[in-house]
């Protein structure tokens, strides 16, 4: 089975721009979660989508949003980029239940200049 895939792997943007990241879950997995990893804050939960609905959201500003499509693929959008948004964005998928194990993709490294 193919693992979680994320595109693009690397991205460079400037302040004020917006960006969209994509995640394809493991086949059969219906839940997708997003995490932000920075040297200062570590790994932090952004949000989770299940059956095209946001199931929960972490403590991030409204500039961070996401959506999930009927094939379980998910996109994450960050608007009005700030320097502090530079991070590794990791996507994780799991089958369905919130007690299932999450499996992570390789991440998208976003650099904001």
Partner 1 sequence: AQKVTQAQTEISVVEKEDVTLDCVYETRDTTYYLFWYKQPPSGELVFLIRRNSFDEQNEISGRYSWNFQKSTSSFNFTITASQVVDSAVYFCALSGGGADGLTFGKGTHLIIQP
Distance CA 86, CA 48 (A): 21
Q: Which residues pair with 111 in a beta bridge?
A: 12
Nearer CB in complex with partner 1: 15/95: 95
Those residues whose C-beta lies under 8 Å from the C-beta of residue 100, and which sit 6 or more positions away, are 31, 94
Shortest CB 16 distance to partner 1, Å: 26
- 30 near partner 1, judged by CB under 8 A: no
- 83 near partner 1, judged by CB under 8 A: no
- 60 near partner 1, judged by CB under 8 A: no
- 59 near partner 1, judged by CB under 8 A: no
DSSP string for 38-71: ETTTEEEEEEEEETTEEEEE-S--TTEEEEE-TT
- 113 near partner 1, judged by CB under 8 A: no
HSE, CB side, 13 Å, CA atoms: give it for residue 23. Answer: 32
Shortest CB 73 distance to partner 1, Å: 18
- 64 near partner 1, judged by CB under 8 A: no
Shortest CB 105 distance to partner 1, Å: 7
């Amino acid at each position: 089975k193919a693992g979680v895939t994320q595109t693009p792997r690397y991205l460079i943007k400037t302040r004020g721009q917006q960006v969209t990241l994509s995640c394809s879950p493991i086949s059969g997995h219906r839940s997708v979660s997003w995490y932000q990893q920075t040297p200062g804050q570590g790994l932090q939960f952004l949000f989770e989508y299940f059956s095209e609905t946001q199931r929960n959201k972490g403590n991030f500003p409204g500039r961070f949003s996401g959506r999930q499509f009927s094939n379980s693929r998910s996109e994450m959008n960050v608007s009005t980029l700030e320097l502090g948004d530079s991070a590794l964005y990791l996507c994780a998928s799991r089958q369905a239940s919130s007690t299932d194990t999450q499996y992570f993709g390789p991440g998208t490294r976003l650099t904001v200049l």
